[in-house]
Structure 1
Amino acid sequence: MVTDNGLTAPGFEIESDLSEMCLDCAEKAGVDGVGLAVFANDGTPGTVHATNELAARIEDLQFTTGEGPCVDAARTGSPVLVPNLNSTHHERWPAMARELTAAGVRAIFALPIRVGTVSFGSLDLHRLEPGPLSTRQMTDTLRTVDRAGELLLSAAGTHLEELLPPTTYRMVVHQAVGMVMVQLDVGVEDALLRLRAAAYAEGQSITELAADIVARRRRLAEEGP
C-alpha cells in the first residue's frame, strides 16, 4: 500500500516481509504450510500470517480448542515437534489432534518466537505426510524464527498486540465473553471455556460463534450447560 505522500506504509512492508519469509520457510523446510501467531497480553493467540487456508485453520483451532503443539510451544518456550500425529497425541490434545487428523495433517512442528526468556508467539509448520524435519530443515526454520522475532519487534516494539488485525477474534470474542459472563453469572475463564466448547461442538470457529452472540443471534444462557 502506498500512502498519500508516495511512501510505502510500514504495516504493508512488514506484512509483505512476513509473507515472503513464511513462504520461503515452507519451501526450505519441505512442509505444506506455515502459520505465524503472536499472543496477546491475556495469553490468547492471533494469526499474523498463514501461507494457505489450512495453515490459517490450524492457527484458529489452537484458540478455539485452547490446546495443541502451537499453544504449548508459546506457553513453555520450547519447540514441540510432532513428526507423526498418532494416537498418543490424540490423548495429549484430544480436540486439536482430532481436528488436525480430520483435516489431513500428519505432522506438525511448533517453534516459539522468543525475546530472551519471554515467548510471545509461535511459528507453526505442518505436513500432509508424516516425517521429521532434517537437521538442515530445522536450522533453516530456526533462522526464520529469529527473523520473525526481529520483524515483529521492529514493527511494534513491545506492543505486539498492535500487529494483530483489528478484525481478529480479540475484539468480538472479548465482547462475547463479557456478554456470556453476564448471562451465566460466571467469571472470565468459565465464559471463555463455554464459548470454546460450544464452538467446537458445532464445528464453528470461536470467532463465528462470538459474532453471533454479539449480534444477539445466539444466547448460550438459554441453551443449558
Structure 2
Amino acid sequence: MTGRVESLCRACQVEAKVDGVALSVLSSAGVPETVFVTDPRSRLVEDLQFTLGEGPCVTAARSRSPVLIEDLRAITAATRQWLAFVHEAESSGICAVFAFPVQVGAIALGTLGLYRARPGPLEPGELRAALRTVDHMASALLDLGLPGGDGVPEAAYRMEVHQAAGMVMVQTDSSIASALARLRATAFSEGVPINDLAADVVAGRRRFFKEEQ
C-alpha cells in the first residue's frame, strides 16, 4: 500500500478518536483481505475475521452498508451472528467496532474497520471523519489500480491461503468453498493464524483427509 493509504488511515484514527484502523480490499471471492493496520490489536481482530469468515467487516462487505457496533458486550441481532468473533474480540480488549464498505457506485473495493477499547458510539463529527476517509480511500484504491470485486488480481491477497485451499480441496474431494471453510475452522480451533496453517499445507507439513460421512 502507498503512503497515501497509510496517511488516510492514521488521520482517521486521530479524527474519529479510535484506537485502531484497518483497511481491507475484497478478493475475487468477496472476502475482505487486510492490507494495512495502524496497530497490532487491529491486525489481530482483522485476522480473526478472515479466519472465522464472520464479523462486522465481513457483514459490511456483503451488505454494502456500514455496521456500527458501539458495544460488543450488548446482545443484538448483529452480535448474535458472530458469537465466536465477539468472544475473541472482547478477549483482545476490543469493545466497539465500526465497519464501513469502501465502494464507488456499484463497485465494491473493500472495507475500513475502526476499533475502540472502550464502548460508545461515534459522535457526529467522528462519524463524518470516518465517512470522509472512506470516500478518500475509494479514490486512493482506484488510483492504485485496484478495481475491486471480481477484477481484483489474486496477487494482491493471501495467495498462500488460496493455494492451500486448492490443495485441501483435492485432498478432501470437496469444493473450494468447503476447503477454505475447513482451513478457517481448523486455524480457529487450533489457535493458529490461518497464514501459518496454509504455509504448512503448501509445504506438505500438514495434510487434510476426507471426512467420514
Fold similarity call, TM over 0.5: yes
**One-letter identity of the residue aligned with 1:181:** M
**Shift of residue 91 of structure 1?**
2.3
1:68 alignment counterpart: 55
Residue by residue, what CA displacement relative to the aligned partner does 1:115-151 show, whole Å, maximum 9, x if unpaired? 1033221100000000100000000110000000000
Residue by residue, what CA displacement relative to the aligned partner does 1:28-79 show, whole Å, maximum 9, x if unpaired? 1111000000101111221121101111122211110000001000111100
CA RMSD of aligned residues (A): 2.0
CA contact (8 A) 1:183 1:221 kept: yes
Q: Following the alignment from structure 1 to structure 2, what is the Cα–Cα distance between the partners of residues 152 and 206?
A: 26
CA contact (8 A) 2:20 2:42 kept: yes
Q: Does structure 1 residue 26 correspond to structure 2 residue 17?
A: no
Q: Does structure 1 residue 126 correspond to structure 2 residue 115?
A: yes
Among candidates 88, 94, 115, match of residue 105 of structure 1: 94
Q: Which runs of 5+ in 1 are unaligned?
A: 1-13
The 3-state SS of whatever aligns with 1:220 is coil
Q: Percent identity?
A: 44
CA contact (8 A) 2:173 2:210 kept: no
Moved over 4 A (4+): 162-165, 222-225
**One-letter identity of the residue aligned with 1:194:** R
Q: Following the alignment from structure 1 to structure 2, what is the Cα–Cα distance between the partners of residues 190 and 87?
A: 31
Q: Following the alignment from structure 2 to structure 1, what is the Cα–Cα distance between the partners of residues 117 and 100?
A: 18
1:83 alignment counterpart: 70
Q: How many residues align?
A: 209
Normalising to structure 1: TM-score of the pair? 0.86
CA contact (8 A) 1:48 1:164 kept: no
Q: Following the alignment from structure 1 to structure 2, what is the Cα–Cα distance between the partners of residues 72 and 39?
A: 12
The 3-state SS of whatever aligns with 2:144 is helix
